[in-house]
Structure formats: C-alpha cells, structure tokens
C-alpha cells in the first residue's frame, strides 16, 4: 500500500513538473504564466511526515515536530530533505523519579502519564496525572481498614506501599510462611510446643500446651531453680532433685541411712544393724526400725588368734591381746581385713621400756628387764618389768673397801663403773692416767723435778720428795713472799736480789756496785783501780786505790766531780781537766812551706796555741789563746784566698796544700766541737768524741757533695788519747787545678780522664791511717752525668812524681747517673774520675775524607798546571797561589797516604813532620798573599816581592818552627792512633800557635787593605780598573782566609777531644779546601776561564796548530798582559 502511494506521488510530481514553466524558481509554480509561491504544506502527502507540523514560507517551507516529538538531529526547524522524521520523546527516561517518589512514569506516543505505585494513592485522587501537576503519592495503610484484617490470631503490619500478615506467637500460618496477605485465605493455627521434642522443658519436667502458648512444671520430687511452679522452657530454668534426706536428722530412723535418688529416696540400716521387716531398703513412712547385730557372738576367735573381739552398736572391733601387735600396725582392726596378732618386741621400743642402765629381754607376748653391770634394781630383783621396778641405780664400787685401787691411789665412782687414778705426786706403773683395780697397776712416786719444763721456773732449784716436791731460789734470788721452800702453785717466781741496795759502800770506798741478774760486781770509781788489777771484783775481795795512769803525763787530784788532771810542762789535755795529759802533735806544723804564704800565718797561730796549752809561760804572755772553731775559720779564709787566685799551676803545690790541710785538721781536732762550716771555696764538717773510754760504732759525716761512712775505732786508733776527731773537707774548685796528673792510672787506648766530683780531704786523729782495718766508704755526687758507668775512685798520692792521682787501695762499690760510691783502705784526699772516649773513626768520616781529598788533589793539580803554564796570568800573586797549591797538594797527598800508618813509629813521625811542615807552609803562603795585597794598595809605589823572600817566608818559617818543635819534643810526632802531633803536654800548640798568629796577621793586613781601598774608591781615580782588580783580589784572599782559617778553628776543637759534629765539620772543610781554592782562583777568574776556553777550542779543532805557533801567540799575549799588569810595579 505504501509503495503504491509512493508511485502515485511520483507520477503526480512528474506531471506537475512537466506543466510548470521551466523558468519559475524552485518553490514557485507558473500560473497564468506567472510564478507564484507553491504551498508545500498543502501537498496531498504531508511533506513533513508524521508527527510534524508544516509551515509554508514564500518559495519554501519548514517543519517542526509536534509536542512530545523531536527531530533526531535536534533541529527545531527543518525540511523534508534535512530530516529523518520526528521521533517520540521518552519523558520517563529523562530522570529517576520523574513523576515523584513512590510513583511510576508511563511513556506514550508524543506524551506520558504518571501513576502511583501499588499501595500508594495520588494526593488529588486521580489514577493518572502529570509530573507538572505537583501530585504526590501517599502510602495506603491497609491494616487500618478493619479489625482482624488478616484473620484470627494474626497480626497486620503496614509497610510503605504495602503490608504483611504474621501469626501471633504460639500460632503458625496454614501455608507455612511467616508472612502472608489477607487475600490469600491463610489461617493461624495453634502450635503445640510440647510436641516438638522430648524434654522440651528440660529434664525432670512436664510440658503442658495452651492455646498459643505452653507452660512447664517440675516432676514430683523435683523443684524449679527459680522457685516458680510454672515456667517457660526458654527461661533456662532447671528442675533440681529434692533431697528428702536433708530435711531432718534420722529421717529414716535411728541407726539407719537415708539415700537420696533423683526424684525420690530410700532407707537402709547402717552396717551392723538389720531392719525390723527384714528388707534391705525401706521407706521412712513404713515405721521400720534398725536393730544391732552382735558380730562377736558369731564364732570363737572371730578376730583371729591372740586377739579380742569387742561388739559396738552397729559394729565391732578387734584388738590384739597384751604383748601382741597387729600386722597392719593399727590398734583396732576388722576381722575381715586378714590382720593377724603377732608378738610385740617391747625391747625395740623407741623409748627403752626398761629404762636407763638396764637390758631388755623379749618373750612371746611379754618381756623382762635386767640391770647392766655396775647397776642393780632397788628392790634387789634380777628380772623385772617396767611396772615392777623403780629403775637401775649405780653400784658404788669405791665404797666396798678401803684402798680398793691400791696404795697411793684414788678410786672414783662413775655411773655404772669406776676408775682408779694415782694421787698427786704419783704415777701409774702402766703409764696410763686411769686404770682398773683388777689390772694390778701400782702408783709410784713421780719426780716433778725431771719435767721437761722446769716446774719451779727460772732461777730456782727443784727438790723431789715421795709424792711431792719443793723449790728453793738460787743464790742471788729470793721468793717475793720470803719463803725458802715453796711450790709452783704458791709462788710468783724467784726475783733478783739487788745486793747493791743493801747498804752504802757495799763494795767498799771509792768503788761502785753494779747489780746483775742473780749477782753483782764491783768496779772502782774513775781515778781508782782495784788492788788485784781486775776491772770487776767482789765486795769481799778488794778495795780501790787511786789510778796513777788516769791522767797520763800529769798529776791526778781528787775533785767534787771525781778527779782532775794537772798536766806537766810540754803536755796538755786541751783545756779539759778530766782528760789524760798527752804531748800535742804540733810537730806536723813545724815544716815551712814558702810556696803557699797565705797559709803560714794561721799555721803559726795554731803552733802558738798549742805551746800555750802545753804550759809555755813565755808563749802565754805573748799570745792570746784561740779556740778551735776560730782557728778553723781563719784557716778556711786563708784557703779561700789561695784558691780564689786561680788554679794551682803544678802538682807539687797541690800536694803542699793538701798536706797542710790534712795536718792542720789532724792537729786542730782535739780543740774542735761537732761543727759544720763553709766558705767561698771550701766546706768542712767535723765530729768529736771526748771521753776516757774509747768510742765504738759507726758514724756518718757529710758535706753538700760527699758523704763519709766509717767507724769510731778507725778514728781513735790503737793509741787512744782520750779524744777522737773526724773531719771531712770539700774543695769547691780544686778540681780545676788537679784535672790532670793521671799518669799512673791505666786507661784504654781511646780514653782520657776527667775529674767528675769535688775533691775532698778526710782526716782523723788516728796517726796510723796508711792501712785501715775497716775500709771507709765515700759517696760522691757527680759534677756531670757520665755517658757510661765506667767511673774510677782515686786518691792524691804525694809520694809519686810530686803528686798524682792513684787508684791503689780504692775501688768502686757502685755507680749510677748521679753518684759513685767508693771504698778505700786508707785516708787522704779523694775524687772520682770519669772516662772520656775519643771519637772513633767512623766509616762516614773515612768516606768523606777519601772522596773529598781525591777531588781536592785533582783540583789542586789543575791549579798547579794553570798557575805554572798559563803565562798570561803570571805575576807575584800567581807565584804565591802556585806554591800555596803545591803545599796543600803535598799535605793532602801525605795525609791521604800516611795519616793512619802507625805501625812503624819512625815512618809515622816522618809523616807527622811532613804534615806539620806543609800545613804551616800553606798557611804561610796564604799570609804572604795578604802581605802582597797590602803592598799593592797601601804603599805609594806598587811593589813586587822578590822570589827569594817569598821562599823564605813560605817555606823557611815553617821549616824553622818544625825544627824547633822536633828538637824540643821529638816524641811529640806520631800517636798510637794517627801520624800527627801528640795532644799531650800541649805539643799540639806548636802547630795551633803559629796558625793563630798567621790568622791574626792576615786579618790585620786585610783590615788595613780594605780600609785603604775604601778611601781610594771614595775619590775619582784614573786607575779605577786597577783598583777594581785589586778589590776582587782582596775579596778572593779574604774568602781563602775564611776557608783555611775556619778549617783549623774546627780542627782545634777536633784535636782537643771535641764532639762528632766538630769531626764532621773539620773533615768536610779539610777534604774540600783544594776544590774551593780551584773554584776561587780559577773558575771565578774571567781571564783563566778564557784561557781554558781557548785551550779546549784548540784541542777540539780539526787541525792542530803547531806548538811554535801556540808559543808565539802565547808570548805575544803574555807580553801584552804583562805590560798592563806590571804598570807602576817595581821590584824590591
């Protein structure tokens, strides 16, 4: 149909088109040959299609969709060609709840409508409505329509838009669903809860159903846990048994037992009883009673042999007869237990049944007791039981008879026994303290006096008696109580009897009593002697007479203090009246010493003082007496005056000073006291002993640097004169005077010696000190820390060569960094020596010497060739340089080849002489250069020294010095180590003396030369070039002096025993002086360098020139040079 319609429309259009004039535009038609608007909207077939509205325009049209429709492209105005047609608009899909809550939107072609969901109703009461109307959907409450809307026993529940029905509790729906609708015809029927399961209400309960519910009750004999009769199964209530037996005591009656059962109970008679109705179980309400059963009457020995059966209400018990015990240990038992009664051993009870001191004997079912040996029962029974006895009592054997144990013994009863002991003072024959009477032991007398520890104690005698002893004190002792005979227990010991306290003059006149333990002795008082000549005697033996030898060479007179001595003429006791008179030892000061005039006055004062003390009346009038301390102070001042003038110049003077000091202190000793004095150059410390009895024991005497240890026996000697003095004097600077004189001390080849302590003088009054019985100990402090512990203890021996240091009789005890301890067998002046080791030839020094001297010899040889053959530089100064180099070359060559050739003394001396000569010659030629420069600058006319005079100055002066030195001390050339000058006795100064003079002279000439040069340079001078040349000469000469002079300055320290540093400096300067001379006089000279360049060029040229040509050129140049150099010079 649709296709037919389209065909028709196409045909119509084609016809119409053919009729339209071809010249009208589209949208217009020709009418009456005019073009007018064609209304497309009036076409038979709507041009816009379904659901669209056409709107004509002049020459065209447009379409719009009807309400509820829209063009798919979204255009509002469109034509047929532009559109696919108007499609329905689904308003319901625009948004959720387009119509509102609880509503439903339904789309229709070109429109829509809203309806409320089931269970809801519109607010305007219409079924259909539009969203734009503001209508809402409200819930319909079905449950409010009528009572029992859902039916009997049901419950209606409204929900938004609906409702549901449920059966009430205890009812169930007929369709089995929990929720249902009223329209379904469902009914609610009762639920029988009791039929659901057995014990629905729980054990021991009954369930009773009711319409819509049920209730529970407990069965008979049970009660609910909540106390209620009815309860619900869901409450958790339980039915518990009712215990009828707990309601009251004897619920079932006497001698019965109530047994509860679940929901009930039953009664039984207790064991040993039987019910009156013969039934085992019965009810309490039946009136049944329980009667006792007598088990013991059933049969004989119901409980078994040796047992007894005892009936009790409802039971019985068995016990063993007396003397028997049950096999299970229980006193009461049952016949059915199989227990037997066996004999009880009463003797094994924990607490002895027979008591103490008794023996138990068991029998079958019984026992008996017997007393132990030494005991008896009080009633006298032998066999008894505990009940029959009062116990076993001790039997006293000692009461049986007198002397039961024997003579001199004692019987001692003990519980059940006895023992015998000997009486005090007796001892058993078997040696035991305790014994038995039956052993036949006898008691014999014990000798207490033979005990290991004396029973009477010290100073007592023991006397034994039969069974006892007594003590008596020895002679000279007594018991404090005055008893003669005593025992240890009653005595406090024997005490010494002081015989001297018995009476005055117990020993007699002029005597002295001295008590000793157990005795005494008598001695004569001072000034008296015993008649028998013994020192100690008894009071009954001797009397004391005056001791005529007490005062020596003097008269002994009695005084209040004992005695005093009056010395004869020529003798003295040094002003101490109780001292022995002796001849003073002032003969030691009689010798005259003119070499030390400073000490003579004080020596004279000491002599005069002793003459006055010796009773010289003339001397007493002429001089005043001086005490010892004053004389000592004057002597120390005199020593200061002597020593402060400087070191003593020879050993003889040192000997004189030391001898005077020793003699002075020895003579002055008796006048001194214990004193310490010090002065600028000395320090002295003195100890003095003054008594008739000679001194004993050690003493120590110290100064600040030295300590002396000895014994008083050494100071007093064998001829003790009543006094002993010790003096130790330390010299503060004497070591400078005696730091030599070591000829008699053996040392190593490479060692020298040096004083390393203060010199001290030790003096005692004992005249015999050459060989002491006990050695003295001297501890010295070091002046400087030694490099090793090799120290030497020495004394000044004046008997050798006028005075030298010696080690005889002295040895080193110990030595450390700060102190040396010496031991000597005589007294004198002492010191400590330190060994100084010469620096050994080390490999490095030898290597420097060999390498340096080899270079120097090469350089000196080149210098000699240069100064001799290069004629262009010939002059007086060149001649000096030539001989300087020759001297150094020979000296270094001899040094290198012969300095260590010490095996042959003659050859070594020749080497030393050659070295002495050529080293001095080199220095003399150096000095002549200074003289030459002086002549060139200072003299008005420049002069040239004649060669003869140069030779005399350069070689003559050294030869003269060597000849004089060799004639004075030929042995001074060569030492054990090197072929050089000997360092001893100052022989080295035969070289160093001229060296110092030459250096001083050179310095003098150079100072004047430099001064004059400075003056000439200060003026405008026509000879400026010549002055410049002299200036360079002077600088070179001064540098040469510094090199050679500095070397021998270091050499001075080296040969004087210097350090390793000085050795290195000297070796380096000595070995390189040839190299330095070559550098200064050749390499630094422009003219010499040009000659070297010319010679090297000629040697390297392809064609060698003839010698004649070379000589001619050299001669011409030399003449030209000389004409310049020698201008203004004149020969002397």
Which long-range CB contacts under 8 A does 963-970 form with residues at least 24 apart? 964/990, 965/916, 965/990, 966/913, 970/909
Q: Given phi > 0 = left and psi -120 to 50 = alpha, else beta, which region is 364?
A: beta
Among 1.10.1740.10, 3.40.50.620, 2.40.50.100, 2.10.25.10, name the CATH number for the domain at 297-344. Answer: 2.10.25.10
Q: 896 or 218, which is more confident?
A: 218
Q: Could you tell me where the DSSP H helices lie in 710-803?
A: 712-716
Say if CB 681 and CB 733 are below 8 A apart: yes
In the chain, what percentage of residues exceed pLDDT 90?
11
Per-residue pLDDT band at 1023 (split at 50, 70, 90): low
pLDDT band at 1013 (very low <50, low <70, confident <90, very high): low
Tell me if 1032 sits within 8 A of 1024, measured CB to CB.
no
Q: Which of 717, 723, 823, 727 is nearest to 768 (CA)?
A: 717
Contact in structure between 389 and 430 (CB atoms under 8 Å): no
Higher-confidence residue of 589 and 958: namely 958
Do 523 and 532 meet the contact criterion of CB atoms below 8 Å apart? no
Rounded CA-CA distance 366/347 in Å is: 10
Is the overall model pTM greater than 0.85, yes or no?
no
Greatest mean pLDDT among 9-18, 344-353, 1117-1126: 344-353
Phi/psi of residue 809, nearest 5 degrees: 80, -5
Average pLDDT over residues 93-119: 87
The answer to whether residues 764 and 827 touch, using CB atoms and an 8 Å cutoff, is yes
Residue 284, CA distances (Å) to 182, 258, 270, 1032 in order: 63, 9, 14, 166
173: three-class secondary structure by DSSP: strand
The CATH architecture assigned to 399-446 reads: Ribbon (2.10)
Question: Which tokens hold the place of 218?
Answer: 């407990």
| End-to-end CA gap in the chain | 174
Identify the residue with better confidence: 758 or 829.
758
Q: Which of 965, 997, 964 is nearest to 982 (CA)?
A: 965
Given this model, what pLDDT does residue 67 score? Answer: 85
The encoded tokens of residue 298 equal 């059933």
DSSP bridge pairs for 556: 565
Give the mean pLDDT of the chain. 79
| pLDDT above 60: residue 52 | yes
pLDDT score for 959:
93
Please tell me the distance from the alpha carbon of residue 1091 to that of residue 872, in angstroms, as a whole number. Answer: 8
Fold match between domain 297-344 and domain 843-1103: no
User: What dotted CATH number matches 501-547?
Assistant: 2.10.25.10
| The pLDDT value given to residue 1111 | 39
CA distance 663 to 765: 10
Residue 157, pLDDT > 70, answer yes
Contact 780, 703 (CB under 8 A): no
Crossing angle between the packed helical segments 989-1017 and 957-968, to the nearest 10 degrees = 160
The pLDDT score that the predictor gives to residue 6 is 42
267 exposure class (CB count in 10 Å sphere: 0-12, 13-18, 19+): buried
Token couple for 583: 């001849």
Best CA proximity match to 961, nearest among 934, 987, 942, 980:
987
CATH no., domain 584-837: 2.60.220.50
Which pLDDT belongs to residue 8? 45
Buried b (16+ CB within 10 A) or exposed e, 938-952: eeeebbbbeeeebee
Please tell me the predicted confidence (pLDDT) of residue 784: 86
Q: Give the per-residue pLDDT at 397.
A: 79
In CATH, what number does 460-497 get?
A: 2.10.25.10
The band of 1123, judged by pLDDT with boundaries at 50, 70 and 90, is: very low
Class of domain 358-395: mainly beta
Q: What are phi and psi of 229, to 5 degrees?
A: -75, -45
Contacts of 683 (CB under 8 A, 6+ apart): 676, 677, 703, 704, 729, 730, 732
User: Is residue 91 helix, strand or coil?
Assistant: helix
Confidence of residue 913 (pLDDT cuts 50, 70, 90): very high
Eight-state DSSP code of residue 30: E
Looking at domain 143-191, its CATH architecture is Ribbon (2.10)
Mean pLDDT of 729-740: 86
Here the tokens at position 1101 are 């040229």
Indicate the DSSP class of residue 979: S
Average pLDDT of 16-29? 62
User: ∠ at Cα 996 (992, 1002), nearest 5°?
Assistant: 140
Among the listed residues 49, 80, 83, the one whose alpha carbon sits nearest the alpha carbon of residue 66: 49
For residue 399, count other CB atoms closer than 10 A to its CB: 11
The predicted structure's pLDDT at residue 646: 81
Residues 6 or more apart from 234 whose CB is under 8 A from it?
Answer: none
* pLDDT at position 1099: 80
Give 249's Cβ-side CA count (13 Å radius).
0
Structure tokens at 729: 């004097």
| Phi, psi of 27, deg, nearest 5 | 95, 0
Residue 426: strand, helix, or coil: strand
Q: If 0-12 CB within 10 Å is exposed, 13-18 middle and 19+ buried, where does residue 784 land?
A: exposed
Predicted local confidence at residue 902, as pLDDT:
81
Residues 6+ apart with CB under 8 A from 433: 421
Q: Which is higher by pLDDT, 207 or 235?
A: 207
Fold for 103-140, please state it.
Answer: Laminin (2.10.25)
Domain 245-293 part of CATH 2.10.25.10: yes
pLDDT at 823 over 60: yes
Report whether pLDDT(1114) > 50. no
pLDDT, position 844: 55
What is the rounded distance in angstroms from the CA atom of residue 570 to the CA atom of residue 610? 9
Q: Give me the pLDDT at residue 604, please.
A: 77
* Structure confidence at residue 1057 as a pLDDT band (50, 70, 90): very low
Other Cβ atoms within 10 Å of 301 Cβ, number: 10
Residues ≥6 apart with Cβ < 8 Å to 502: none
pLDDT reported for residue 1039: 55
The answer as to CATH 3.40.30.10 being correct for domain 205-242 is no
β-strand partners of 360: 369
Topology, domain 843-1103:
Rhopdopsin 7-helix transmembrane proteins (1.20.1070)
CB 541 within 8 A of CB 532: yes
Cα distances (Å, whole numbers) of residue 780 to 679, 770, 793, 819, 908: 20, 22, 10, 6, 42
For the chain, the structural domain boundaries read 2-93, 103-140, 143-191, 205-242, 245-293, 297-344, 358-395, 399-446, 460-497, 501-547, 584-837, 843-1103
Predicted local distance difference test score (pLDDT) of residue 727 = 94
Q: Say if CB 937 and CB 1013 are below 8 A apart.
A: yes
Yes or no: say if 1030 and 933 are a contact pair by the CB < 8 Å rule. Answer: yes
Give yes or no for residue 213 having a pLDDT over 90: no
Helix, coil or strand: residue 822: strand
Instruction: Find the helix or strand (DSSP H, E) in which 55 lies.
Output: strand 52-57
Q: Which of 728, 726, 729 is nearest to 713 (CA)?
A: 726
Tell me the C-alpha to C-alpha distance, in Å, between residue 455 and each of 448, 450, 460, 465, 472: 7, 8, 9, 14, 11
* pLDDT beyond 70 at 1082: yes
Strand partners, 555: 566
pLDDT higher than 90, residue 709 = yes
- Selected from 3.40.50.300, 3.40.630.30, 1.10.10.60, 2.10.25.10, the CATH number assigned to the domain covering 2-93 reads 2.10.25.10
Mean pLDDT of 657-669: 85
pLDDT of res. 11: 43
Ordered DSSP codes for 864-910 = HHHHHH-GGG-SHHHHHHHHHHHHHHHHHHHHHHHTT--SSHHHHHH
């Amino acid at each position: 149909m649709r296709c037919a319609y389209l065909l028709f429309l196409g045909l119509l259009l084609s016809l119409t088109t053919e009729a339209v004039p071809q010249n009208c535009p589209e949208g217009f038609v020709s009418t009456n040959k005019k073009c007018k608007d064609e209304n497309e909207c009036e076409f038979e077939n709507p041009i816009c299609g379904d659901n669209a509205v056409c709107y004509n325009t002049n020459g065209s049209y447009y379409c719009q969709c009807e309400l509820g429709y829209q063009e798919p492209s979204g255009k509002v105005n469109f034509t047929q060609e532009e559109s696919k047609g108007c499609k329905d608009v689904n308003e319901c899909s625009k948004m959720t709840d387009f119509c509102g809550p609880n509503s439903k939107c339904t789309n229709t072609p070109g429109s829509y409508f809203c309806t409320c969901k089931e269970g809801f109703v519109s607010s305007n009461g219409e079924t259909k409505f539009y969203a734009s109307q503001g209508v809402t959907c409200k819930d319909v409450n079905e449950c409010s329509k009528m009572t029992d809307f859902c039916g009997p026993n049901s419950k209606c529940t409204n929900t938004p838009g609906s409702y549901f029905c449920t059966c009430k509790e205890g009812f169930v729906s007929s369709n089995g669903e929990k929720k249902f609708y009223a329209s379904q015809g469902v009914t609610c029927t009762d639920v029988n809860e009791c039929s659901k399961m057995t014990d629905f209400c729980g054990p021991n309960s009954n369930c009773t159903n009711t319409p819509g519910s049920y209730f529970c009750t407990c069965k008979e004999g049970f009660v609910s846990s909540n106390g209620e009769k009815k309860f619900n199964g869901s409450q958790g209530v339980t039915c518990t048994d009712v215990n009828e037996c707990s309601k009251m005591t004897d619920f079932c009656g006497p001698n019965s037992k109530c047994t509860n059962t679940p929901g009930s109970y039953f009664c039984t008679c207790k064991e040993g009883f039987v019910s009156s109705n013969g039934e085992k179980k019965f009810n309490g309400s039946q009136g049944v009673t329980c009667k006792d059963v007598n088990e013991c009457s059933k049969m004989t020995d119901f409980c078994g042999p040796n047992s007894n059966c005892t009936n009790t209400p409802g039971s019985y018990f068995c016990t063993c007869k007396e003397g028997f015990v049950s096999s299970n240990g229980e006193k009461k038992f049952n016949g059915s237990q199989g227990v037997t009664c066996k004999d009880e051993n009463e003797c094994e009870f924990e607490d002895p049944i027979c008591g103490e001191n008794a023996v138990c004997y068991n029998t079958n079912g019984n026992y008996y007791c017997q007393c132990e040996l030494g005991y008896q029962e009080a009633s006298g029974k032998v066999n008894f039981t505990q009940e029959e006895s009062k116990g076993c009592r001790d039997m006293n054997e000692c009461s049986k008879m007198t002397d039961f144990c024997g003579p001199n013994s004692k019987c001692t009863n003990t519980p059940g026994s006895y023992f015998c002991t000997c009486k005090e003072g007796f001892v058993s024959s078997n040696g035991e303290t305790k014994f038995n009477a039956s052993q036949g032991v006898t008691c014999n007398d014990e000798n207490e006096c033979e005990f290991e520890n004396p029973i009477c104690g010290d100073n007592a005698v023991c006397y034994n008696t039969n069974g006892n002893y007594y003590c008596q004190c020895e002679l000279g002792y007594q018991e404090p109580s005055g008893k003669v005979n005593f025992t240890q227990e009653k005595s406090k010991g024997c005490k010494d009897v002081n015989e001297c306290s018995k009476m005055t003059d117990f020993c007699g006149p002029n005597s002295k009593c001295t008590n000793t333990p157990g005795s005494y002795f008598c001695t004569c008082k001072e000034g008296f002697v015993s008649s028998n000549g013994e020192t100690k005697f008894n009071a009954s033996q001797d009397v004391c007479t005056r001791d005529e030898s007490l005062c020596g060479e003097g008269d002994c007179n009695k005084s209040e203090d004992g005695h005093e001595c009056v010395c004869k003429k020529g003798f003295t006791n040094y002003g101490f009246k109780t001292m022995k008179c002796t001849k003073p030892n002032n003969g030691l000061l009689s010798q005259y010493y003119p070499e030390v005039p400073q000490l003579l006055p004080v020596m004279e004062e000491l002599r005069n003082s002793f003459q006055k003390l010796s009773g010289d009346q003339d001397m007493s009038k002429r001089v005043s007496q001086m005490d010892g301390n004053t004389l000592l102070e004057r002597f120390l001042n005199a020593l200061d005056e002597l020593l402060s003038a400087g070191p003593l110049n020879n050993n003889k003077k040192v000997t004189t000073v030391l001898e005077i000091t020793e003699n002075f202190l020895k003579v002055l000793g008796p006048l001194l006291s214990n004193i310490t004095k010090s002065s600028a150059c000395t320090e002295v410390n003195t100890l003095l002993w003054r008594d008739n009895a000679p001194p004993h024991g050690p003493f120590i005497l110290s100064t600040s640097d030295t300590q002396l240890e000895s014994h008083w026996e050494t100071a007093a000697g064998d001829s003790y004169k009543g006094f002993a003095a010790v003096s130790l004097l330390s010299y503060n600077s004497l070591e400078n005077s005696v730091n030599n004189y070591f000829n008699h001390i053996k040392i190593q080849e490479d060692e020298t010696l040096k004083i390393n302590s203060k010199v001290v003088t030790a003096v005692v009054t004992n005249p015999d000190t050459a060989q002491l019985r006990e050695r003295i100990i001297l501890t010295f402090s070091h002046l400087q820390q030694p490099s090793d512990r090799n120290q030497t203890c020495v004394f000044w021996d004046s008997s050798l060569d006028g005075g030298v240091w010696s080690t005889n009789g002295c040895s080193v005890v110990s030595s450390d960094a700060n102190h040396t301890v010496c031991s000597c067998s005589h007294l004198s002046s002492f010191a400590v020596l330190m060994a100084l080791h010469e620096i050994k030839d080390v490999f490095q020094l030898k290597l420097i010497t060999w390498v340096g001297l080899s270079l120097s010899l090469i350089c000196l040889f080149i210098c000699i060739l240069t100064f001799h053959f290069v004629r262009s530089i010939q002059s007086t100064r060149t001649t000096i340089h030539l001989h300087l180099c020759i001297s150094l070359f020979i000296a270094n060559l001899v040094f290198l080849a012969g300095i260590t050739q010490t095996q042959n003394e003659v050859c070594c001396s020749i080497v030393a002489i050659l070295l002495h000569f050529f080293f001095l010659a080199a220095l003399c030629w150096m000095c002549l250069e200074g003289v030459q420069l002086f002549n060139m600058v200072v003299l008005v006319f420049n002069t040239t020294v004649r060669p003869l005079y140069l030779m005399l100055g350069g070689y003559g002066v050294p030869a003269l010095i060597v000849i004089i030195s060799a004639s004075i001390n030929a042995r001074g050339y060569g030492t054990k180590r090197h072929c050089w000058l000997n360092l001893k006795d100052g022989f080295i100064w035969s070289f160093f003396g001229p060296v110092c003079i030459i250096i001083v002279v050179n310095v003098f000439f150079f100072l004047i030369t430099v001064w004059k040069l400075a003056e000439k340079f200060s003026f405008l001078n026509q000879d400026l070039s010549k002055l410049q040349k002299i200036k360079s000469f002077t600088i070179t000469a001064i540098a040469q002096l510094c090199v050679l002079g500095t070397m021998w300055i270091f050499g001075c320290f080296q040969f004087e025993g210097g350090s390793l540093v000085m050795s290195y400096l000297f070796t380096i300067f000595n070995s390189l002086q040839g190299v330095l001379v070559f550098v200064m006089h050749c390499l630094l000279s422009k003219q010499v360098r040009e000659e070297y360049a010319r010679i090297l060029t000629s040697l390297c040229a392809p064609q060698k020139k003839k010698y004649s040509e070379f000589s001619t050129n050299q001669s011409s140049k030399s003449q030209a040079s000389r004409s310049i150099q020698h201008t203004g010079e004149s020969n002397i």
